[in-house]
Amino acid sequence: MSDHPELSFCVPQALNEACAQKANPIIVSDHFAKLEKIIKEYSLTPDQIWNMDEMRFAIEPSFQKVLAKKGAHQVHKVSSGNSHEHIFVCPTISAARHTFHQ
């Protein structure tokens, strides 16, 4: 690695293929443009806007290290899918910072 100081080895985060496609900046920008239109159209207030994000944590051995640009904060590897056991968490919060607990 001494020949390429801008690179380092790191462990990637699992990212399924569907999520990887949604990380496209054009898709993200389009999503927020549509969201802004809906908020204005229905005069939604922060206490009426909620977000829930189902997160899956795989119970599997961690990935091997991969080569990435030094200082990279998010390095992903597309995971194989649903072939392993998982734990699911669904945090839910409103734009007014109200949370939903169950």
Mode of pairing for the β-strands spanning 86-89 and 7-10: unpaired
0.85 exceeded by pTM: no
Following DSSP, what letter does each residue of 87-99 receive, concatenated?
A: EEE--EEETTS-B
User: How far from the centroid of its chain's Cα atoms is residue 21's Cα?
Assistant: 11
Query: Which is more confidently placed, 10 or 82?
Result: 10
Asked if residue 14 is part of any domain, the answer here is yes
Task: Please report which confidence band the pLDDT of residue 30 belongs to, taking 50, 70 and 90 as the band edges.
Answer: very high
Query: Which is more confidently placed, 56 or 78?
Result: 56
pLDDT at 94 over 80: yes
- The position carrying tokens 């020949």 is 3
Mode of pairing for the β-strands spanning 50-52 and 92-94: antiparallel
Total domain count, the chain: 1
d(CA 11, CA 77): 9
**Portion of the chain with pLDDT greater than 70, in percent:** 73
Query: Which is more confidently placed, 60 or 100?
Result: 100
User: Can you give the pLDDT at residue 61?
Assistant: 59
Asked if residue 38 is part of any domain, the answer here is yes
Asked if residue 11 is part of any domain, the answer here is yes
Asked if residue 102 is part of any domain, the answer here is no
pLDDT at 42 over 70: yes
- The position carrying tokens 């290290």 is 65
User: Can you give the pLDDT at residue 76?
Assistant: 64
What range does the domain containing 58 cover? 7-94
Q: Specify which residues 7 forms β-bridges with.
A: 69
User: Can you give the pLDDT at residue 90?
Assistant: 87
Asked if residue 2 is part of any domain, the answer here is no
Q: For residue 85, which of 62, 58, 61 has the smallest C-alpha distance?
A: 58
Asked if residue 90 is part of any domain, the answer here is yes
